[in-house]
């Protein structure tokens, strides 16, 4: 995946005082907002979330056009789909789930109390900027967290515009001020300083390996993801016409900038030629050996993948390589070697797809494992088959945590064309060096305090039905007080005096309660 910012281990320049003061005020504001959200009821949260989703959905096309204009990546129509799916679509999906009320398990005599993270620092990639802004903001709000969005510098304008629109909608719907904020002028030193600040409770990092490593290195709890490099196996039992259509559509979706896109087709030799013919019908250009070499030279340099081709369409890439492929949705490059040493079987965030022949399921599995040895572990894979034995063998052996079956990998592994959690952030688990192995969902933004009774039968379980912790003044005041401490410690914003007065009042109330006990 493209880095959210190129973070290195080299010493960084200091953040100018005035820049840090502005960022520090955002952190203090977020702490205050997080405290307010933590004691907000489900009905109010639902209203806020709906208003934010509607605001994003209403301008999905505008932001899609602005993102393509600013970054030069992707396809407007496809970004509209992602923006709509990551606004109204995500909210509708989780509408029946409650991340606010206590959960009561009478059989196990346990009560679970949702605990939001607090302040979420969300790093936004250049490849899917607005969809990720929508997605992470809504997941944070559903679980009563405040969010500070930190976009890739190359997408900062559109991200800032979208974030301000969401923040305005949230505030009008009753959210506390500063529940949604954005870093308008992100820099590498500022990003690293923000990640290490104690006022941040959780980092959600979507980007390249250096970004994720920096997030983990910060000392702040972080949810990070690894790079993709998805193999797609096509066996002799599948519907070849449907497989070809799905693969071409998937690889061309938004010019292949989703990290779940197919990297290499591994086709059973007996059906390989027919599959290529069907892919031609679906508007794939099958490259000659000379054209394949030209693409190899264009896409990869001594420094790695040529970022200039990220998110460009097939016609543009072909012309840059020195040949013509008019009307092509993707460029297919046949290769003989399916190993990391063959650069074309590595991750490619552009509509160029490697194609190799395998003798059967065993060689297909070996080839998939080999190409993922360098990158892509823990990420995604796909298989087109009607043979459950092949599907099971492939899924068990390939080091991917999500395998899309008879679906395009781009939208299948990311959950938009399957029943996986729809997500713009894909966890790669232990194998990929990620803290999560799932698609990122609201469940990752909340944890639970558990009231656990003695399990002996003669110990009665309490009657907790109907009790709302937010209606208990003492608990509510304690929950609200902690995020405000940072405002007393230093800085603060325009409301800092009012915050201090309120906190002093809370402290006096608590002292009186203790003395009266």
The reported pLDDT for the residue numbered 119 is 98
Q: Give the best-scoring range by mean pLDDT among 9-18, 258-267, 297-306, 470-479.
A: 258-267
What CA–CA distance (Å, rounded) separates 163 from 149?
8
Q: In degrees rounded to 5, what are phi and psi of residue 39?
A: -115, 25
In a 13 Å sphere around the CA of 33, the CA atoms on its Cβ side amount to 29
The reported pLDDT for the residue numbered 225 is 82
The reported pLDDT for the residue numbered 347 is 93
Average pLDDT estimate for 237-254: 97
* Res 426 pLDDT > 50: yes
* Res 486 pLDDT > 80: no
Least confident of 54-68, 167-181, 218-232, 263-277: 218-232
What CA–CA distance (Å, rounded) separates 195 from 182?
14
Residue whose entry in the numeric block shows the structure tokens 């206590």: 102
The reported pLDDT for the residue numbered 496 is 56
pLDDT band at 491 (very low <50, low <70, confident <90, very high): very low
Set 259, 287, 350, 409: catalytic member: 259
What CA–CA distance (Å, rounded) separates 77 from 316?
18
pLDDT, mean over the chain: 90
CATH fit for domain 230-413, picks 3.40.309.10, 3.40.50.2000, 3.30.390.50, 3.20.20.450: 3.40.309.10
Tens digit of pLDDT for each residue in 129-157?
999 999 999 999 999 999 999 999 999 99
What are the structure tokens assigned to 445, written together?
């933004």
Strand partners, 111: 104, 451
Q: How many CB atoms lie within 10 A of CB 192?
A: 19
The reported pLDDT for the residue numbered 492 is 47
What CA–CA distance (Å, rounded) separates 47 from 175?
9
* Res 182 pLDDT > 70: yes
What CA–CA distance (Å, rounded) separates 316 from 318?
6
pLDDT band at 11 (very low <50, low <70, confident <90, very high): very low
The reported pLDDT for the residue numbered 193 is 95
On the question of a common fold for 17-225+441-447 and 230-413, the answer reads no
Neighbouring residues of 98: CB distance < 8 A, sequence distance ≥ 6: 42
* Res 219 pLDDT > 50: yes
Q: Where are the domains of the chain?
A: 17-225+441-447, 230-413
**Is 302 or 510 the better-scoring residue by pLDDT?**
302
pLDDT band at 421 (very low <50, low <70, confident <90, very high): confident
Average pLDDT estimate for 425-451: 91
Tens digit of pLDDT for each residue in 58-68?
999 999 999 99
What CA–CA distance (Å, rounded) separates 185 from 275?
48
pLDDT band at 24 (very low <50, low <70, confident <90, very high): very high
The reported pLDDT for the residue numbered 495 is 53
Q: How many CB atoms lie within 10 A of CB 429?
A: 19
Least confident of 133-142, 251-260, 477-486: 477-486
Is 259 among the residues known to form the active site? Answer: yes
CA distances from 231 to 53, 55, 189, 208, 209 (A): 34, 37, 36, 19, 20
pLDDT band at 487 (very low <50, low <70, confident <90, very high): very low
Q: Nearest to residue 131, comparing CAs of 436, 352, 410?
A: 410
Q: In what order do the strands lie in the sheet with 180-182?
A: 180-182, 146-151, 119-124, 202-205, 222-224
Specify the 3-state DSSP secondary structure of 139.
helix
Per DSSP bridges, beta strands 304-305 and 300-301 are antiparallel
Give me the architecture of the 17-225+441-447 domain, per CATH: 3-Layer(aba) Sandwich (3.40)
The reported pLDDT for the residue numbered 10 is 46
The reported pLDDT for the residue numbered 341 is 86
Sign of the C-alpha dihedral computed for residues 332, 338, 343 and 348 taken in this order: positive
Structural contact between residues 414 and 426, judged by C-beta atoms closer than 8 angstroms: yes
Tens digit of pLDDT for each residue in 364-410?
999 999 999 888 999 999 999 999 999 999 999 999 999 999 999 99
* Res 479 pLDDT > 80: no
Q: How much of the chain, in percent, has pLDDT values that exceed 90?
A: 79
Least confident of 11-15, 216-220, 362-366, 451-455: 11-15
Average pLDDT estimate for 330-356: 94
């Amino acid at each position: 995946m493209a880095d959210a910012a190129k973070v290195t281990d080299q010493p960084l320049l200091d953040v100018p005082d005035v820049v840090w003061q502005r960022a520090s005020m955002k952190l203090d504001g977020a702490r205050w907002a997080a405290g307010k959200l933590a004691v907000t009821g489900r009905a109010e949260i639902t209203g806020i979330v709906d208003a934010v989703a509607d605001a994003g959905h209403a301008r999905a096309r505008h932001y899609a056009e602005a993102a393509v204009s600013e970054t030069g990546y992707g396809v407007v129509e496809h970004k509209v789909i992602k923006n709509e799916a990551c606004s109204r679509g995500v909210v509708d999906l989780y509408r029946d789930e409650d991340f606010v009320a206590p959960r009561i398990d009478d059989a196990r005599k346990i009560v679970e109390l949702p605990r939001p993270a607090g302040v979420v620092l969300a790093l936004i990639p250049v490849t899917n900027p607005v969809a990720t802004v929508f997605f992470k903001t809504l997941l944070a709000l559903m679980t009563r967290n405040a969010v500070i969005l930190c976009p890739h510098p190359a997408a900062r304008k559109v991200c800032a515009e979208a974030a301000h629109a969401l923040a305005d909608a949230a505030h009008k719907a009753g959210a506390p001020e500063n529940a949604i904020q954005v870093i308008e002028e992100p820099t590498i030193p500022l990003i690293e300083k923000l990640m290490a600040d104690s006022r941040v409770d959780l980092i959600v990092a979507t980007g390249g390996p250096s970004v994720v490593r920096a997030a983990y290195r910060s000392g702040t709890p972080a949810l990070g993801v690894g790079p993709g490099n998805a193999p797609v196996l096509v066996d002799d039992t599948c519907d070849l016409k449907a497989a070809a259509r799905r693969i071409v559509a998937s690889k061309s979706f938004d010019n292949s900038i989703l990290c779940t896109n197919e990297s290499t087709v591994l086709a059973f030799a007996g059906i390989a030629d027919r599959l290529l013919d069907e892919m031609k019908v679906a508007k794939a250009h099958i490259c000659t050996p000379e054209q394949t070499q030209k693409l190899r030279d264009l896409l990869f340099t001594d420094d790695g993948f040529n970022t200039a081709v990220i998110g460009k369409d097939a016609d543009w890439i072909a012309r840059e390589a020195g040949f013509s492929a008019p009307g092509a949705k993707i460029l297919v490059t046949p290769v003989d070697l399916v190993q990391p040493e063959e650069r074309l079987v590595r991750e490619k965030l552009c509509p160029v797809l490697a194609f190799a022949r395998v003798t059967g399921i065993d060689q297909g599995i070996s080839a998939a494992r080999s190409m993922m040895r360098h990158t892509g572990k823990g990420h995604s894979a796909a298989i087109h088959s009607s043979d459950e034995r092949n599907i099971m063998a492939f899924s068990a052996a390939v080091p991917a945590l999500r395998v899309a079956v008879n679906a395009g990998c781009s939208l299948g592994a990311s959950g938009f064309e399957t029943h996986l959690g729809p997500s713009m952030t894909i966890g790669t688990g232990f194998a990929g060096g990620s803290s999560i192995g799932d698609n990122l969902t609201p469940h990752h933004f909340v944890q639970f305090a558990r009231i656990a009774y003695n399990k002996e039968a003669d110990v009665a379980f309490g009657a907790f039905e109907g009790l709302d912790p937010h209606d208990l003044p003492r608990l509510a005041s304690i929950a609200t007080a902690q995020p405000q401490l940072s405002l007393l410690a230093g800085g603060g914003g325009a409301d800092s005096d009012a915050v201090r007065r309120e906190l002093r009042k809370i402290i006096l109330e608590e002292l009186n309660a203790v003395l009266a006990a």
